[in-house]
Amino acid sequence: MLNYLTLILGCQLAGELAVRAAGVSVPGPVLGMVLLFCFLLARGSIPKDLATTADALLNHLSLLFVPAGVGVMLHFRLIGNDWLPIGVALILSTVLTIAITAWMMAWLGKGAGGND
């Protein structure tokens, strides 16, 4: 399990280093996930221990949002000054995400013969 946790964090580090070296505007962890995905494609399968490690991280994912919540509370006054554009952006992006997800599910369901 420690080996695969090291692999996950190593891919994130490699993504961060690549982004900083290249100066691209892609988040390092996203590039790290792409690297991990390429590794898994080359391997052809997901090792059982990697799946177990990833599931353990996902089970505790809410803990990773604590720093973001602290940042929001730290800058609450700034957010309060711009509450209207932030609120509109949150509502529109949520509605748009739900609509696109529903459309994609309907579209993909047609291809699988899922019109029940």
Token output for 105: 């599910």
Split at pLDDT 50, 70, 90, the class of 114 is low
Q: What is the DSSP letter of 71?
A: H
Separation between Cα atoms, residue 81 and residue 75, nearest integer Å: 10
Which helix (H) or strand (E) segment holds residue 97: the answer is: helix 83-111
Split at pLDDT 50, 70, 90, the class of 110 is confident
Instruction: Tell me the domain boundaries of the chain.
Output: 1-59, 65-116
- Segment 26-75, tens digit of pLDDT: 899 999 999 999 999 999 999 999 999 999 999 998 888 888 888 888 88
Q: What is the DSSP letter of 104?
A: H
Separation between Cα atoms, residue 57 and residue 73, nearest integer Å: 25
Separation between Cα atoms, residue 96 and residue 73, nearest integer Å: 27
| Core vs surface per residue 9-23: b (16+ CB within 10 A) or e | eebbeebeebbeeee
Please say whether the beta carbons of 37 and 65 come within 8 A: no
Split at pLDDT 50, 70, 90, the class of 106 is very high
- Segment 42-54, tens digit of pLDDT: 999 999 999 999 9
- Segment 2-26, tens digit of pLDDT: 999 999 999 999 999 999 999 888 8
